[in-house]
Every structure is written in structure tokens, then in C-alpha cells.
Structure 1
Amino acid sequence: MYIYTLKNSKSLCIRKAVVEDTEEILNISNQVAGETSNLSYSKGEYYMTYDQQYSYISRLKDSRNSCFLVGIIDGKIVASVTFLSSSRKRMEHRGEMGIAVLKDFWGVGVGKALMDCFLKWAKSNGITKKIDLLVREDNIPAISLYLKFGFQIEGRISKGMLVDSRFYDIYLMGKTLK
């Protein structure tokens, strides 16, 4: 567990998700989907049922090369970061990361704290060597955050996302750990 002081003087606790978080994670996943069009799903489209989310959290809590972290302010989950890696030997060294933050907590350092905590975990697990992520081309705050943490744009998926009848390219960003 890590504690960060945010720009608004609130304390953010970051810890691994536990199965008791299942309902709250489902709720914030749907809430954040209604607050931004930067995710791969929109409000009401979150792809996991309660049982699937419970199983997912349970499976990741003991994983050495995948994780699910939650950010908590005043006892409420307000953000999460997930990292999924393969169990296959040839692919276990890399995975895909995703971050979600409730809109009320944008711009106060939650994303920065999540990245810092996640990268500490990734560097310490002894397996992870490469982190990939996808980000919409016009999500400048997220791209800026990733660049500050040493990610690089490695590719572009043209017309990778369709939102309100408009196509957006998606950047593939990556970071190699030393």
C-alpha cells in the first residue's frame, strides 16, 4: 500500500484490488465510461459481470506479472490501473496497461500517483520488461503523462476508435524497463 498527497491536499491510498472491491469497481467502471469518450467502451458497455469481475480480481491478486491496483480517497475507489501479461513464457515479460480515473479527480495528480506506484510494482516483480498501452490521439493529458514517465509512441492505429460517428487514431505507446 502506498499513500500519496495530491495537489488538492487529499490523501490517495493505492493498493491491490481485492474481491471485496468487486461491486465498487463495476460501479466506477461504468461511471467513468459516462464521463469520458477516451475509453474503449461507453456507459453501459462495461464488459464484465459481477462474477467475471470477482474472478478477474481473484486471479490477478496473486499474479507475479499482472496486477490490478485501485486508488482510494476518503474510503472510496476513484481510480484504477490494470496490467495484463501473458502466462506464456515467451510473452510473460510484456503486457498492456490501462488507467481509469473518475472525472472529479482529474488534474490533481491521481494519474501521476497511479503511474508511479504501478511502475514501482513493475520494476520490482522480476518479470516485466515491457509495458504497452493504447491511447486516443487527442487525449493530450494522458499522452503527456505517459511521455513524462518515459513512454514513447511506437505506432498508430488509424481509425482505431469510432465515437459519435467520428473516427480517431489510437497511439500504441510503450516503455522498456531497465
Structure 2
Amino acid sequence: MDLKIRAMRAEDVSDIFEIYNQPAFRAGTLALPYESFEAVKKWAEPRSPRDLHLVAQLDDRVVGAAALRPFYGRRAHAAEFWIGVHEDFAGNGVGSKLLAAIIDTCDNWLNVIRIEMTVFTDNERAIALYRKFGFEIEGTHRAASFRNGAFADVHCMARLRPSNGA
């Protein structure tokens, strides 16, 4: 698979809209069903000039997307992120390549030492991906989200940049 990671462009929104409205994406995120194109376009836009928005491109098609959102002030050393992968390409390393790019940017360009996110406790594939990159479960939020007619728990996970001996 000749996958290319690059910065998100305005013309990528159609492919991101398709990913956003897939059942697997909705099950693993806080997305609601039947989101409009305009709502997804606004959601995909950077909220700050510090945000990093990436896509995974295969041929001429976006098959995954990710965003890094660094915090400010006393939390300027930390950031949160999200990743979404097209259902047809899940399990093929797309999420790994996107997460590797996010971590490289944090470690080598932004001096972000803490990367964090929440993940549904039953999302075993995502949890395995995050653990592979050094994320650890720091706690569990009970009944954190309403999904498929029931309340669901999420783990809060974080990765602290390994010390470089300095």
C-alpha cells in the first residue's frame, strides 16, 4: 500500500465526510448520525493556527484523517488528537502512520511532551494501536457518552514523551 501522509486540504472534505458518516467512525467517536456536509466541514477545520490536520492518501483518495490540537497556557506542553480511518482500510496501518506523524510532530517540532485522548473501553483495536505507541490508560470515565441507546465508558489515555537523557 503506497500511503502518503500530508496536510489536509479543502478538497479533502468530501472524503472526510464519507469517513465521518460511517458506522465504525460513529461507534468510536462522539459523532452523531446523519451529520450534514457543512457540519463535517466545520468540524474538520482547524480551531487554531497551532492545530495540525493530516490525511492519509492512497492514490487520489483520502482513506484516513487526523488532527492534533495543542493546548495553551499552563497546558502548552500537552495536546489532544483524533484519528479516523475509512472502514474499507481499517487494519492496514493507516492509523499507525497517522499516529506516527502526530507523535513525530509533537516530539520533534512542537516540544509537546504529553499527548492525550479518550477512547471507548470496548474499542480494542484503537486501544492496541495507542499502546503500541506508548500510550497508557490513566483512568476510566464511567457513563461518559450515550451511544447506541446506552451509556458507555471511556478510558483516558496519554503518552509522555520518553526522556532523551537531557
Query: TM tier, shorter chain?
Result: 0.7 to 0.9
Number of residue pairs the alignment of both structures matches: 161
Identity %: 27
Partners of 1:21 and 1:14 in 2: CA distance: 13
Aligned to 1:89: 73
Find the aligned partners of 2:147 and 2:41 in 1 and give their Cα distance: 29
1:18 and 2:9 correspond: yes
Structure-2 separation of matches of 1:99 and 1:109: 12
Partner of 1:52 in structure 2?
42
Task: Say which of 111, 135, 145 aligns to 1:127.
Answer: 111
Name the amino acid aligned to 1:67: L
Residue of structure 1 equivalent to 2:53 = 68
Contact 2:19 2:87 in 1 (8 A): no
Structure 2: segments with no counterpart, 5+ residues: none
SS in 1 for 2:73: coil
- The C-alpha deviation readout for 1:21-65, integer Å capped at 9, x for no partner, is 3343334322x3x334111113223796376357x24x65x53xx
State the Cα deviation string for residues 118-177 of structure 1 (Å, max 9, x = none). 211111123311100110000001101111110000111101122222222100000011
CA 1:23 to 1:98, structure 2 compared with 1: closer, same or farther past 3 Å? same
The reply on whether 1:35 has 2:24 as its aligned counterpart is yes
For the residue of structure 2 that corresponds to 1:104, the secondary structure is helix
- The letter of the residue matching 1:77 is V
Matched, 1:80 2:65: yes
TM-score (norm 2): 0.85
Superposition misfits of 4+ residues, deviation over 4 angstroms: none
CA distance in 1, matches of 2:69, 2:38: 15
Deviates more, 1:42-51 or 1:139-148: 42-51
Alignment RMSD (CA, Å): 2.2
Q: Distance in 1 between matches of 2:142 and 2:74?
A: 28
Q: TM-score, normalised by structure 1?
A: 0.80
CA, structure 1 residues 175+50, in 2 after alignment: closer, same or farther (shift >3 Å)? Answer: closer
CA contact (8 A) 1:23 1:50 kept: no
